[in-house]
């Protein structure tokens, strides 16, 4: 059986919000079977909580923000990406501010945090959303689509008119697995341009942004003295973001995802379009009598104690 997993014990970290620039405490707690991913704002009266759900995304300007039951949580995508990457199904995420800490701009700090305690198998099968027909959304020349595929495969294409980005790979194909995610995707950092920093700050965004949590470029090159972590770090970060945005479904997806110049907004539109077409997908799980394709097994946590 491919079973649901949660954390083996509670972990805690602290960091700065990218947009608000404030310190936030973040606690990840194990949660029972079929809880899904829950956010709880412990700084607000009555500590409101809500489950992740694509229609609860309210803001996709610079990050993915969710809002429900009087609580808003912004910049969820890198933590959600780590949960997708490690195949965590059930978790209670507590924070004492409006924004998930940016850490180093990638999902690797969350991956280390979770690997530190490991995952625990739970006594219920994982519930997958199996895509049955192509679903596509477009916005100008940008597009994103799901196609039926018995596994999880991602293709992402970017096209930036910038020398540093043009030297880097513009396309990435990924056959999703936990190992590939940890090794090839999780360390890719968010990126931005100096020319946008003034505008963002005037709008109260990116106040916590520094060269320690983003790749920053001027008109010609990367300003970070340490350079890039991967030759194609930019497109890898877009895949990292997409994995997090799509995991707001609350379940792993069996599909081929293909996107051109997509971002948080279009990723979310695609997910909402899928959820809104009941004939385009079905629930799937893998119990003991079902043969499990290797590409699906590699994307799931299968041991009793996974690290």
The residues binding Zn ion (CB under 5 A) are 190, 241
Query: Is 203 designated active site?
Result: no
**What's the token pair of residue 96?**
């004492």
Sign of the CA dihedral running 256, 5, 233, 269: positive
Strands 65-68 and 305-306: unpaired
Shortest reach from residue 146's CB to Zn ion, in Å: 21
Rg (CA), the chain: 18
Please report how close the Cβ of residue 237 comes to Zn ion at its closest, in angstroms: 6
Shortest distance in whole angstroms from residue 11 CB to Zn ion: 21
CA contacts within 13 A on the Cβ side of 131: 26
Of 149 and 160, nearer to Zn ion (C-beta) is 160
Element (H, E) at 297: helix 294-297
Pair 276, 62: CB distance under 8 Å: no
Q: Which residue, 241 or 258, has its beta carbon nearer to Zn ion?
A: 241
CB 252 within 8 A of CB 130: no
Output the smallest distance, CB 136 to Zn ion, in A.
Answer: 23
CA 78 to chain centre: 5
How many other CB atoms are found less than 10 A from the CB of residue 124? 15
DSSP-derived secondary structure letter, 278:
G
**Catalytic entry in 19, 78, 237, 264:** 264
Q: Which is nearer to Zn ion, 190 or 262 (CB)?
A: 190
What is the distance between the terminal CA atoms of the chain, rounded to a whole angstrom? 19
Instruction: Tell me whether residue 240 or residue 254 sits nearer to Zn ion (CB atom).
Output: 240
What is Dmax (Cα atoms) for the chain?
A: 58
Q: Are 301 and 6 in contact, with CB atoms under 8 Å apart?
A: no
CB-nearer residue toward Zn ion: 125 or 244: 244
Q: Could you list the active site residues?
A: 264
């Amino acid at each position: 059986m491919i079973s649901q997993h949660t954390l083996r014990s509670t972990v805690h970290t602290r960091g700065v919000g990218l947009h608000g620039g404030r310190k936030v405490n973040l606690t990840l707690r194990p949660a029972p079977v079929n809880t899904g991913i829950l956010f709880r704002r412990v700084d607000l009266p009555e500590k409101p909580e809500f489950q992740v759900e694509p229609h609860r995304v309210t803001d996709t300007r610079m990050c993915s923000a969710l809002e429900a039951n009087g609580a808003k949580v912004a910049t969820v995508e890198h933590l959600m990406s780590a949960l997708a990457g490690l195949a965590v199904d059930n978790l209670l995420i507590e924070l004492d501010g409006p924004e998930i800490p940016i850490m180093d701009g990638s999902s690797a700090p969350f991956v280390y945090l979770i690997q530190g305690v490991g995952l625990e198998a739970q006594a219920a099968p994982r519930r997958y959303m199996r895509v049955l027909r192509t679903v596509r959304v477009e916005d100008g020349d940008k597009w994103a689509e799901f196609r039926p595929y018995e596994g999880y495969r991602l293709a992402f294409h970017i096209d930036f008119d910038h020398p540093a980005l043009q030297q880097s790979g513009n396309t990435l194909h990924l056959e999703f697995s936990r190992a590939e995610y940890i090794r090839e995707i999780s360390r890719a950092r968010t990126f931005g341009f100096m020319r946008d920093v003034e505008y963002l700050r005037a709008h109260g965004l990116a106040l916590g942004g520094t060269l320690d949590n983003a790749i920053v470029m001027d008109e010609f090159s990367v300003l970070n003295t340490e350079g890039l972590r991967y030759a194609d770090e930019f497109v890898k970060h877009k895949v990292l973001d997409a994995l997090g945005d799509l995991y707001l479904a609350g379940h792993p997806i069996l599909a081929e995802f293909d996107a051109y110049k997509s971002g948080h907004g279009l990723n979310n539109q695609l997910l909402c379009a899928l959820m809104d077409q009941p004939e385009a997908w079905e629930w799937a799980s893998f119990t003991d009598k079902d043969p499990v394709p290797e590409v699906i097994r590699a994307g799931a946590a299968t041991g009793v104690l996974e690290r």
